[in-house]
Structure 1
């Protein structure tokens, strides 16, 4: 296992008291598309501009600001065009459902891929890193939400011929994901399966919509 890098590793140094930047201010002032993440902030640990992707949202960028999310049974697909150096992340709760919503896998993947292609990316040079799908709620394994989400995204990417170059999925751990879209680098921290009330609430909401099928934390990995 590896540790989080030093706060300034690979990132440009900034004054310690600065909590914003021209890039953040520009992003905050820009109009957002439906489903596009809008929670922008200054990450004090990494000393970098950041955006948090909430359930049902996505974000695409061509600079190495941080794209972050926290996952229970949900999935985050991180796509990267290795030639154009454009990347993005989504966060979906269920494989499928009624209506056009980024909370459902098929639509979430379409939103992410389409936005990357609008910015010049090509399906032919995309690759993926996949995270999440944890069974974080004890006693709810019969619904298999995390497993179903994981199976969906793997099958979807296989169908689209987008190779999965790394993944950290399933098991019992919630995860925090930090992604750098221009370089395609991802950092994943497995969280202790305690004190995750917000994630459990999200997972319970997803489980309530799911149709059952018939059939210690704290480590950090670089992907």
Structure 2
């Protein structure tokens, strides 16, 4: 019953990347990913023993792409939740754990924090309790999600490069001669 984007894995473990998701109910399946500023939402129904994980880049994309791109939060969350429900989960039983949103390049962008705020707000609006989270910081994360039980293992990636962006002072129009 595993679905990764549009690939059927037939109960095998899956690695997902940006814009992908996976859903399964097998106790032997592990869904994994690596995150920086991206977000992964691990959502499962503990009564139906089914769960799934997505991996999205930003809360919102260009207006033209929002309705058909799983790289953006609203669509990624909707696709995952709808697939879980079609696969036998009940919405009122869903639980979530969310990960990611790191600041990988200091001073360059606030994408990680915006992603974290988005996913928590989305879950609250959908009345899906967030029972665990690891958001923010400045380290990448490696995740392993066991969809049948909702268990997640996280390992911080020590060797991920965190760069500090130093602002460039724009040149003036003044000319100085020595």
| TM-score when normalising by structure 1 | 0.66
Change (3 A) 1:195 1:136: closer
Which of 11, 15, 18 aligns to 1:55? It is 18
Coordinate RMSD, CA, aligned: 2.2
Q: Deviations over 1:172-203 (max 9, x none)?
A: 0100000000011000001115358xxx9xxx
Residue equivalent to 2:100: 132
Change (3 A) 1:55 1:101: same
Residue equivalent to 2:78: 110
> Is the Cα–Cα contact under 8 Å of residues 37 and 52 in structure 1 kept in the other structure?
no
* Structure label with greater radius of gyration: 2
Mapped pair 1:71 → 2:35: yes
Residue equivalent to 2:172: none
User: Could you say which structure has the higher helix fraction?
Assistant: 1
> Is the Cα–Cα contact under 8 Å of residues 18 and 57 in structure 2 kept in the other structure?
yes
1:155, 1:36 → 2: CA distance?
27
Question: 4+ residue runs of structure 1 moved beyond 4 angstroms?
Answer: none
Matches within 5 A, 1:170-189: 170-189=136-155
> Is the Cα–Cα contact under 8 Å of residues 79 and 129 in structure 1 kept in the other structure?
yes
Q: How many residues align?
A: 157
2:6, 2:17 → 1: CA distance?
9
Residue equivalent to 1:212: none
| TM-score when normalising by structure 2 | 0.81
Q: 1:37 Cα deviation (Å)?
A: 5.8
Matches within 5 A, 1:73-222: 73-98=37-62, 99=65, 100-140=68-108, 143-194=109-160
> Is the Cα–Cα contact under 8 Å of residues 54 and 91 in structure 1 kept in the other structure?
yes
User: Could you say which structure has the higher strand fraction?
Assistant: 2
Residue segments in structure 2 that go unaligned for 5+ positions in a row: 164-178
Larger relative CO (CA 8 A, sep 6+): 1 or 2? 2
